[in-house]
Amino acid sequence: MSVLRLATRRSPLAVLQAEYVQAQLNAHGFKSELVHIETSGDARPDVSLTTLGGQGVFAIEIQRAVLDGNADVAVHSAKDLPSQTPAGLMLASVPERRDAADVLVGRSLAGLGPGATVATGSPRRRALLLERRPDLRIVDLRGNMAKRLANAGHDGVDAIVTAAAALDRLGSNDLIAERLDTAWFVPQVGQGALALEVRDDDLDTKATLAKITDVDAMEAVLAERSFLGELGVGCSIPAGAYATLNGGIISLCGVMLAVDGSRSVRAALTGRNPGELGRMLAKQLRDEGGGGALPGWDT
């Protein structure tokens, strides 16, 4: 039996995610090893994601390792993927998804006084916070999870925003001051999920990964990614989408915001076809937002 090579970022959280995939494969009798890759996003931890180019900075080098034959599987946080899958690759598997919500660490929203400082590197999180609390001061946040978490309560930062799933994988749920309701604080596309890519002609590896695929999670991520692909944007634009399934029916909600949170449009649709549903929702939000020209929208 051949050993599957799993390409992953070097960060502690990314390695934990890849090790989870390893454990799932091992439970089905498949052997694997990790291939550690330094991404452009990791190599420049002090530069904002917007400056670096947003989505893709944590994925491109990992995808390249698979395309070049140096690895068999690219292991990503699904939220880090660009809106379009590169030629030669396919999204082969999404294992069981963890909580997709965002959380506050340091203080709850109600516990933040007027003019309090919150750190986040995400335009979506920034805009959603300002939508409800325009008095807040939002500052940038980069670095690995340990560095991010250390910011809360230090150097004038009252709280940070991060993903519930990240803290869960790190065993740090006790740090959560508040879980933000996904109906309002709509998550980033793919948040809480892992995405496993393979070469599109590698049908054997695709079949192997099918053993660890959560069908509902896969459908949900496909719907959310279809939404993102129709918008044609990455994480530099304040937009989010979140899908859940019940009896084969996909419920997909989405949001688009002005960069300063001063205006937002929301909608929700249900259906069975993830690709069609994501595209329809994106078009609806774009139309309701005046073709995407929301006040303060940096296009």
Please give the model's pTM, rounded to 2 decimal places. Answer: 0.90
Active site residue 132: no
Rounded to whole angstroms, the Cα distance separating 119 from 151 reads 8
Q: Which of 124, 126, 169, 199 is catalytic?
A: 124
**Residues 250 and 228 sit within 8 Å (Cβ to Cβ):** no
Active site residue 142: yes
> So what's the pLDDT on residue 295?
46
Active site residue 80: yes
Q: What is the mean pLDDT of the chain?
A: 90
CATH of 215-299, one of 1.10.3720.10, 3.30.70.20, 3.20.20.70, 3.30.160.40: 3.30.160.40
Closest CA to 259 of 287, 222, 233, 224: 233
CATH of 1-97+193-213, one of 3.20.20.70, 3.40.190.10, 3.40.50.300, 3.40.640.10: 3.40.190.10
Rounded to whole angstroms, the Cα distance separating 112 from 235 reads 26
What confidence category does residue 47 fall into, taking pLDDT thresholds of 50, 70 and 90? very low
> So what's the pLDDT on residue 135?
97
Give tens-digit pLDDT for 252-274.
999 999 999 999 999 999 999 99
What confidence category does residue 52 fall into, taking pLDDT thresholds of 50, 70 and 90? very low
Rounded to whole angstroms, the Cα distance separating 13 from 236 reads 22
Rounded to whole angstroms, the Cα distance separating 31 from 25 reads 7
> So what's the pLDDT on residue 148?
84
For the chain, report the end-to-end CA distance as a whole number of angstroms: 50
The pLDDT of 30-42, averaged and rounded, is 85
Active site residue 125: yes
Active site residue 214: no
Active site residue 72: no
What confidence category does residue 163 fall into, taking pLDDT thresholds of 50, 70 and 90? very high
Active site residue 235: yes
Give tens-digit pLDDT for 195-211.
999 999 999 999 999 99
Q: Which of 9, 72, 80, 98 is catalytic?
A: 80
Q: Fold for 102-179, please state it.
A: D-Maltodextrin-Binding Protein; domain 2 (3.40.190)
Q: Which of 142, 179, 279, 283 is catalytic?
A: 142
Residue 117 scores a pLDDT above 80: yes
Answer whether 1-97+193-213 and 102-179 agree in fold. yes
Domain range annotation of the chain: 1-97+193-213, 102-179, 215-299
Rounded to whole angstroms, the Cα distance separating 71 from 197 reads 11
